[in-house]
């Protein structure tokens, strides 16, 4: 298993981590198989979406903020309940197909680390499984 750190600078942000994932896949030399990307945090997530237009990640954050406001009728006392809910909805992991030592992504797709309770230093775990 591999890991890398992500330093976030905003309370809410989406950071493109595709390059780091590509590097790990290439270094693994699996040829074809699967790549599991996991975020071991309860207030962060990972997703695959468009990266050609920077408004797409901004829109995702904006809509999540409207649906799950920072201040709401939450019982959790730390003040970050909204981040927990957003992380649960987006999800802690993604599975990416691998062909020819490259992630199989659509033309406009990238892998994003989603910060919902920053700024923080975060970790991303990556496991590459080669086809037998």
Taking only the tens place, the pLDDT of each residue in 26-77 is: 999 999 999 999 999 999 999 999 999 999 999 999 999 999 999 989 999 8
Q: What is the pLDDT of residue 102?
A: 97
Q: What is the pLDDT of residue 132?
A: 76
User: What residues have CB less than 8 Å from 60, skipping those under 6 apart?
Assistant: 14, 47, 49
Averaged over 19-30, what is the pLDDT?
97
Q: Are 96 and 105 in contact (CB under 8 A)?
A: yes
- Give the fold, CATH level 3, of 2-130: Jelly Rolls (2.60.120)
Q: What is the pLDDT of residue 77?
A: 80
User: For 66-112, how does the pLDDT look when each residue is reduced to its tens digit (9 = 90+)?
Assistant: 999 999 899 998 889 999 999 999 999 999 999 999 999 999 999 99
Q: What is the pLDDT of residue 51?
A: 93
Q: Are 17 and 113 in contact (CB under 8 A)?
A: yes
C-alpha torsion 25→27→29→35, nearest 10: -20
Q: Are 69 and 79 in contact (CB under 8 A)?
A: no
- Quote the pTM value: 0.95
């Amino acid at each position: 298993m591999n890991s890398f750190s992500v330093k976030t600078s905003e309370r809410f942000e989406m950071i493109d981590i595709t390059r780091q994932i590509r590097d790990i896949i290439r270094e693994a030399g699996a040829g074809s198989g699967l790549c599991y990307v996991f975020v071991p945090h309860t207030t962060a997530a990972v997703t695959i979406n468009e990266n050609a237009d920077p408004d797409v990640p901004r829109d995702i954050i904006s809509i999540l903020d409207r649906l799950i406001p920072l201040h709401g009728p939450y019982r959790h006392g730390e003040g970050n309940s909204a981040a927990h809910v957003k992380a649960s909805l987006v999800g802690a992991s993604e599975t990416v197909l691998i062909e020819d030592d490259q992630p199989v992504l659509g033309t406009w797709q990238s892998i994003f680390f989603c910060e919902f309770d920053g700024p923080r230093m975060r970790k991303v775990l990556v496991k590459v499984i080669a086809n037998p």
